Amino acid sequence: MVAIRVKLKPTTIKINKIFLIGNGFDLALGLKTKYSDFLLWLIKKYIIDAIESNVSIAPFDKYKGRYIEFLGEYEGKNVKGFSTNSLFDVLLSTRFYYDKDQLNKIDKVSDLFEYISSKEIEINTKNAPFLFAKILHSSSNNLWVDIEGVYFEILKEIIKTYKNNLKKDSLDLIDNINQEFSLIIDYLKKYLSEIDTAIIKNDAKVYFTQFQSDLEKNDFSFLHNQDDDVSIGNSYFLNFNYTDSLSNLLGHFKNSAYIQNHIHGNFKDTKNSIIFGFGDEMDDVYKEIEELNDNRFFEHIKSFQYFKTPNYRELLSFLNSGDYQVCIYGHSCGLSDRIMLNEIFEHENCKSIKIYYYNDDDFTRKTMEISRHFNSNQLMRKKIVNKNNDCLIPQVKK
């Protein structure tokens, strides 16, 4: 019996592109949008307020000075300046002179803490040793600051307290940390409002050229007929940033068709307020939170904030609309978005994952982070595309 080979007619397959736009995109544009940049701004702002305050005695109800023995009482604490906000107080030592111009030149949070130490500036958090105190501790020790991650770690500690029959103590703690987290969000909005996200067309064109680059057949392991071809369907930008930098960039190319979803909100949009919290429902602790039967533990878990807008449902609609390639563009792929990224990566319509990167280390690090969102390593290896030199993210010099 002779086997007959039938040559299949080549077809062109439409594949959508979904770009995961993260903070690395804003950083590539030269924007100061790291958490450390935010902390630098916040602390410097209130040190400068203290310098300008002309306050010579700190509030006595909180800060007592030296004890006067013959009067049997304390005097007010002498300071060179004082400022306060909802998160912390700043007290300037009388032993030093403070120069605003020198302070304004500091552009790294590590250098700021050296300045604070050398000038004996007191930064006293309102709810020590809770959230903001731990964030400051990480910053002062030159550790990477992940505010959402710090929040979740403290949440885990509070759950242990709760389970050790210290229910009242743990509920006081969760109220405190939730309040602090909300205050941090408010200050973050103020900080973002001061960032200029404008981009000139020549710079924008470099990024847009990458966004519009053709699909490569080698990126897709499911193509069995070598004569088949692929072409771009819809371009979908899943924007995790709170800024409008991407909108400003895309605004230079109004004749191009694309969809943008501000999945985590925009600091300017009251109807799509920013979503800031933790999203790793695959963590073992999440099941423990559900069993506590107290909604306060869910207050800053992202899943429950997604219900406030149609954004997540619109994302699911896009994922179900046809085959797609994921383009990681500035997103760290960390655990704070784990449940969403797992849904995107393991979806049957996800045919490949292409990583745009800052340098070789960044590419390798992202492959490791992406692996944590897969339940199947075999599936992961099929989908992640090899490193490509054309995928280096351009860096704008400012």
**Looking at the predicted structure, is the pLDDT value of residue 6 above 70?**
no
| pLDDT tens figures, 355-379 | 999 999 999 999 999 999 999 999 9
**Looking at the predicted structure, is the pLDDT value of residue 171 above 90?**
no
| pLDDT tens figures, 66-109 | 767 665 577 889 999 999 999 999 999 999 999 999 999 999 99
Model confidence at 179, in pLDDT bands (50, 70, 90)? very high
Give the model's pLDDT for residue 398.
64
Average pLDDT over residues 339-348: 96
| pLDDT tens figures, 194-252 | 999 999 999 999 999 999 999 988 888 777 666 678 889 999 999 999 999 999 999 99
**Looking at the predicted structure, is the pLDDT value of residue 166 above 70?**
no
Give the model's pLDDT for residue 355.
98
Give the model's pLDDT for residue 217.
86
Give the model's pLDDT for residue 370.
97
Q: Which of 27-41, 186-200, 294-308, 338-352 has the lowest mean pLDDT?
A: 294-308
Give me the residue spans of the domains in the chain.
12-32+198-273+308-391, 36-144
Q: Is the dihedral of CA 218, 219, 224, 229 positive or negative?
A: negative
| pLDDT tens figures, 42-64 | 999 999 999 999 999 999 888 98
Please give the residue that has the higher pLDDT: either 163 or 301. 301
Give the model's pLDDT for residue 173.
87
Give the model's pLDDT for residue 309.
95
Residue 297's closest CA among 129, 130, 167, 155? 155
The matching CATH number, chosen from 3.40.50, 2.60.120, 1.10.3470, 3.40.1350, for 12-32+198-273+308-391 is 3.40.50
pTM above 0.85, yes or no: yes
The mean of the pLDDT values for the chain is 90
Average pLDDT over residues 131-141: 85
Distance CA 42, CA 373 (A): 33
Give the model's pLDDT for residue 21.
98
Please give the residue that has the higher pLDDT: either 292 or 166. 292
Q: Pairing state of beta strands 324-329 and 12-21?
A: parallel
Give the model's pLDDT for residue 182.
95
Q: Which of 117-126, 136-145, 166-175 has the lowest mean pLDDT?
A: 136-145
Residue 219's closest CA among 392, 387, 385, 391? 385
Please give the residue that has the higher pLDDT: either 67 or 153. 153
